[in-house]
């Protein structure tokens, strides 16, 4: 029987009703008490690392999780991390960069309703997560609503429904049917994981809106080492408002600037329209292509935690990690 470590970080799954609304209060042992059937799937040990509403999750907490995984990695066959849904996709992406090429499963799960509620998705999600953690499912993934989603491809797309997460620009790794994992894709892995312990959090995100000028970008770039711009459609910047000069000046000053798209599916393609073409041809801005914004944020933090050299940072950005970027690389 496989030995799995349950790492608790809080979230709705561990929440109880208070006068101030739902608050994470349950321990990992209390969660397990709700699902005795897990003893038939695997042996479980528990670590209560955090007990947070995931709105309060920070990059320092991602590093804590990576350190916890590193500390316990040799003694367990797989790992389940319970986590709030609101920032779970960011955490899954971050762990995909902090713990690379893991041959063992690292599964994140949570719920849209607390485990103590009569109508809850908590029990099914948690049991499914332990099933997946006991299988040959390498790397970081999210198990939710009977789906297995690659850690670098997940996004929360529904705020209340049980089908909270979607896999963006990549197929599901598998599905669970009647308690059985039907695996479609096996992630690449190494003989042993590669752990990292540094993130640079000076990464900002700007969502373009019609009529915006460069002032917001200037404000963010003054305070950060990288800026991700969520543009419209396949990508580009307005010809008004001084954006082209803004990008040129800050890139000359050594800042990293990445263009991505607000559109959830199919990615960017800066070469299609003139509003994007010269940004890439003349300035050499980085382009996210089919990456999720969550993955771009986490990857830039990881890259800038390794280097401030632009050429090296660009090579790392376009190097696929856990299938985070496929087009035009493949």
Residue 200 has pLDDT above 80, yes or no: yes
Q: Which residues are catalytic?
A: 12
Q: Which of residues 17 and 11 earns the better pLDDT score?
A: 11
Query: Does pLDDT of 75 surpass 80?
Result: yes
Q: Is the pLDDT of residue 205 over 50?
A: yes
| Residue 273 clears pLDDT 80, i.e. is over it | no
Using CA atoms, how far residue 201 sits from 26, 221, 225, 242, in Å, is 30, 13, 9, 27
Instruction: Give yes or no for residue 21 having a pLDDT over 80.
Output: yes
Question: Which CA distances in Å does 54 have to 14, 111, 218?
Answer: 11, 12, 29
Q: What is the pLDDT of residue 276?
A: 84
- When pLDDT is averaged across residues 20-38 and rounded to a whole number, the result is 90
Give residue-wise pLDDT tens across range 121-132.
Answer: 999 999 999 999
Inter-residue contact 276 to 286 (CB < 8 Å):
no
pLDDT of residue 330: 44
All domains in the chain, ordered by first residue: 3-195 (3.40.50.1170), 203-318 (3.40.50.40)
pLDDT at 24: 86
pLDDT in tens, 92-103: 999 999 999 999
The pLDDT value given to residue 122 = 96
d(CA 277, CA 1): 56
């Amino acid at each position: 029987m496989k030995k799995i470590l349950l790492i608790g970080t809080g979230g709705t799954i561990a929440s109880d009703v208070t006068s101030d609304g739902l608050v994470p209060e349950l321990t990992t042992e209390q969660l397990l008490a709700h699902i005795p059937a897990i003893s038939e799937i695997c042996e479980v040990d528990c670590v209560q690392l955090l007990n947070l509403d995931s709105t309060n999750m920070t990059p320092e907490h991602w590093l804590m999780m990576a350190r916890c995984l590193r500390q316990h990695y040799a003694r367990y066959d797989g790992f389940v991390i319970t986590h709030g849904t609101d920032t779970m996709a960011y955490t899954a992406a971050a762990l995909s960069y902090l713990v690379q090429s893991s041959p063992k499963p690292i599964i994140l799960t949570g719920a849209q309703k607390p485990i103590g509620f009569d109508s809850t998705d908590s029990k099914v999600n948690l049991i499914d997560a332990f099933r997946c953690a006991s299988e040959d499912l390498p790397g970081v993934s999210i198990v939710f609503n009977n789906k297995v989603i690659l850690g670098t491809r997940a996004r929360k797309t529904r705020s209340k429904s049980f089908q909270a997460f979607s896999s963006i620009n990549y197929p599901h790794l598998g599905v669970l049917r009647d308690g059985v994992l039907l695996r479609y894709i096996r992630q690449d892995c190494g003989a042993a994981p590669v752990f990292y312990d540094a993130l640079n959090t000076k990464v900002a995100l700007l969502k373009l809106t019609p009529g915006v000028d460069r002032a917001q970008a200037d404000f963010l770039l003054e305070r950060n080492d990288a800026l991700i711009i969520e543009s419209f459609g396949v990508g580009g910047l307005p010809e008004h408002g001084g954006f082209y000069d803004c990008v040129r000046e800050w890139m000359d000053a050594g800042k990293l600037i990445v263009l991505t798209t607000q559109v959830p599916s199919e990615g960017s393609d800066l070469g299609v329209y003139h509003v994007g073409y010269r940004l890439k041809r003349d300035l050499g801005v980085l382009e996210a292509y089919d990456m999720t914004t969550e993955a771009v944020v986490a990857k830039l933090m990881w890259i800038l935690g390794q280097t401030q050299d632009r050429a090296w940072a660009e090579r790392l950005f376009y190097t696929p990690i856990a299938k985070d970027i496929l087009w035009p690389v493949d």
